Chains A and B, each alone.
Chain A
């Protein structure tokens, strides 16, 4: 049995998977979380979890195709070995979760049922009702509770991670956390610290994420020196229900079943939508994309809805951007049968029946592809070497990151139902690496390190509490930050806006320093905890903005109109080919320049230092994503020819080399 003590921060899918596996391997685990782990954000995931399965396999699917879909969907911005390893582990992970009791939906014969999600041709997605994330999380929570009962895991719920403690050599030796009830600080010496703290949706004010997705833990690691990868890649979901407190997801199936998106032609038409005649309605998706209509791909739908409200000013409401998603022309019986569950969500939170009144929806920040930069060790077969100390390790030795808070698996864009897989996978896979790491640990850390860190945190806390007479309100600042980020760093990005926004974020950060707290007590002070985490949102906001500003291209979720590569305008075949050749040249040029991970480091001046890292694309060479592009077929043809030419070229060269050798 292995020994050692490991600190896991965060008990979502990733943190719980890691905790379970480490406890099984005999490592003592301290599990720290802002909320009881069973309430982590992973409960919100509805759709499902991807993996190759017996059924798809017989239809020609295999792990490689899942791997390829993930890489292609992510626009090639991921290192390929970890993704390959994840796809390879998929079937085993689903089997494991099945054994742990997840009530996956069943076929009449009693096998797991599967559905099809975006970005693939196969029915790869296993699901448990409309609450797959909740079911997966509970299964892991139960196993961890079992280890807790055996005394192998100790949970610290309602605790906040404040800083990793580094020794003089820069190695992580533990962390400082704070009890959110008593407000006491505690040092956790550990042989390794694993961050599994999820996404950072709150940087955008409101998103589809939970209220604990502040990104504060990641920011604190980043400020302590950990590198942050691909921060600018933020996924926006086209249809969410705007709410005063949160933006709740509205499934794409509403459009799939015939829902129509429209706005009144007259801006902010005050009439009841049902009284607006057809002629005065603007079905902008149907008009602009006659071929796909309301079912245009996710990113296009997102962009169009965003544009119609912002650039064209046709939002249904003035202070709250939204468009109509109309189901009222469909029969109630059909709606209840096919969409019952999701319509109930709308009804429950909006208090309006979407069967008789058009829904109001708007895109919402949904997922952060970026996160802490982590390492991996490539195995001989092109995957990840199991048990290697480097796997999932951040740029700070001894500090690891898994789940949504790492940058490793989804590149520039995440495929639906792939995140739950990456969370569980990285959690399970990191455990043996930790065991290896704790085996090779140096002599125990000196207590002075922890004392100094404790003092630092206590001081920060005290100075926040004792600040008097400041005129800034943290909640109002958070709203300002959120609307600013949502405006400039979501769907459409423009350099001039990003430059301005960067300055504004710096201003907000300066104003944050003048925040005065309305609660200066030292008992369950949510006011100070919030203010602290708000302060830690600014570094993340800045690295997102700067990363976005510097990346002058379009890739995955990052769209800059100024650098988009339009399709082919010409109709004449010869001209078309010429344009396609040009297009491919430009694509190759762009790939050479931009197919790199953004790596941000926290500078001493508080600004992010951005550098770029080459990507391991050794398994699948990059190719253009042409979905929906005008003239895409011609470009594809040209691209294929180039590929063949190159291949024969390589073969010819090899032949020459062989010939020379003889």
Chain B
């Protein structure tokens, strides 16, 4: 069953490897939105090939802080554990990354002694390491990130596409909506809407959506707009996408810090997308100016 290692046990263990056998973790916790956050220390037994998810699983199983206090398990999101679903983004040792591919050995090399876990800072905390990323998904709606097909009835194959075009599009299509690019972006700032007492659920939703609509759309959505504007059918509503890319909170808010591309776990060429979108927006805006 649970082996609650008391601090004194750990001290008795005076072997040179003893230190390596326990992983010390510092977690920034928050019980609910609007509440104070606080640090909590945990210690879990070390295993080879451990990643941050297995550390969190062990924390949940032990349900005890390092000082032996009984505590509620830390809340966090995860699903695939293969770095394809985009669930488990968090700040590990201060840098945004996927917890499932963050290996403990590497982290300890990076900063010996302790691993620090914090929730993403650009999204409202739901609880502990779990944040609400609905703004990220809303941005995909803003740029109409889909191919506007007539419907699912059979119309034969899709358009012919050269291998070069496919190789261009494919990386963009692997974006897993993890939000690393947004977390690291100095231009992307948190929008946290709090429901007022006198406000209905629907009114709140509307107000929040309006706030999302004004906020910076983010590198991931710009890249999706570029992906679909490059698709032979997707292109048919290219103007609508450019209209949203140049609306408030659009591409103009990018400050070219290029953090997004540096932290994207899927190595998506985001700055190329941003520049391509910039070019398209330039051409489009000029065209619009003269078409009026």
Contact = CB atoms under 8 A, between A and B. Distances in A.
Given A39-B79, A129-B170, A96 B152 contact: yes
Contacts of A43: 80, 84-85, 176
B79 A211 contact: yes
Contacts of A21: 152
B127 A39 contact: no
Contact of A350 (B49, B70, B155, B170): B49
A99 B61 contact: no
Given A212-B79, A473-B61, A245 B149 contact: no
A95 B158 contact: yes
Contacts of A142: 140, 145-147
Chain B interface SS verdict (over half): loop
A44 B82 contact: yes
Interface stretch (A143-151, A162-170, A329-337, A489-497): A143-151
B49 to A, nearest CB: 5
Interface stretch (B11-19, B51-59, B110-118, B279-287): B51-59
A211 B81 contact: yes
Contacts of A351: 49, 103, 105-106
A103 interface: yes
A293 interface: no
B85 A106 contact: no
A104 B167 CA distance: 10
B289 interface: no
A110 B158 CA distance: 11
B119 interface: no
A286 interface: no
Contacts of B211: none
A35 B73 contact: no
B258 interface: no
A244 B70 contact: no
A521 B87 contact: no
A527 B73 contact: yes
Interface stretch (B180-188, B228-236, B247-255, B270-278): B228-236
A519 B128 CA distance: 13
Contact of A519 (B72, B101, B105, B149): B72
A100 B86 contact: no
Given A110-B160, A475-B57, A518-B72, A24 B51 contact: no
Given A41-B79, A129-B174, A212-B79, A99 B163 contact: no
Interface residues of B, number: 71
Contact of A98 (B50, B84, B158): B158
A473 B166 contact: no
B191 interface: no
Nearest to B147: A101
B49 A524 contact: no
A41 B86 CA distance: 11
A283 to B, nearest CB: 25
Interface in B211-235: 228, 231, 233-234
Interface string A501-529: 00000000000000000110101111100
Interface in B120-175: 126-127, 130, 133, 137, 140-141, 144-149, 151-152, 154-158, 160-163, 165-166, 169-170, 173-174
Nearest to B49: A350
Contact of A245 (B53, B84, B147, B233): B53
Contact of B166 (A105, A348, A475): A105
Contact of B174 (A39, A131, A521): A131
B79 A210 contact: yes
A146 B146 contact: yes
A110 B166 CA distance: 9
B83 interface: yes
A38 B60 CA distance: 26
Which one of B60, B105, B106 has the highest number of Cβ atoms from chain A below 10 Å of its Cβ?
B60
B198 to A, nearest CB: 19
Closest 5 pairs between A and B when the two form their complex, measured CB to CB:
A518-B63, A519-B72, A98-B158, A142-B146, A110-B160
Interface of B: 1-2, 31-32, 47, 49-51, 53-54, 57, 60-61, 63, 70-73, 75, 77-87, 100-101, 103, 105-106, 126-127, 130, 133, 137, 140-141, 144-149, 151-152, 154-158, 160-163, 165-166, 169-170, 173-174, 176-177, 228, 231, 233-234
Given A110-B162, A142-B147, 10 more contacts: A20-B152, A36-B177, A38-B86, A99-B158, A100-B147, A103-B173, A110-B160, A211-B78, A523-B32, A524-B75
6 contacts: A39-B177, A41-B79, A131-B84, A145-B146, A246-B82, A345-B82
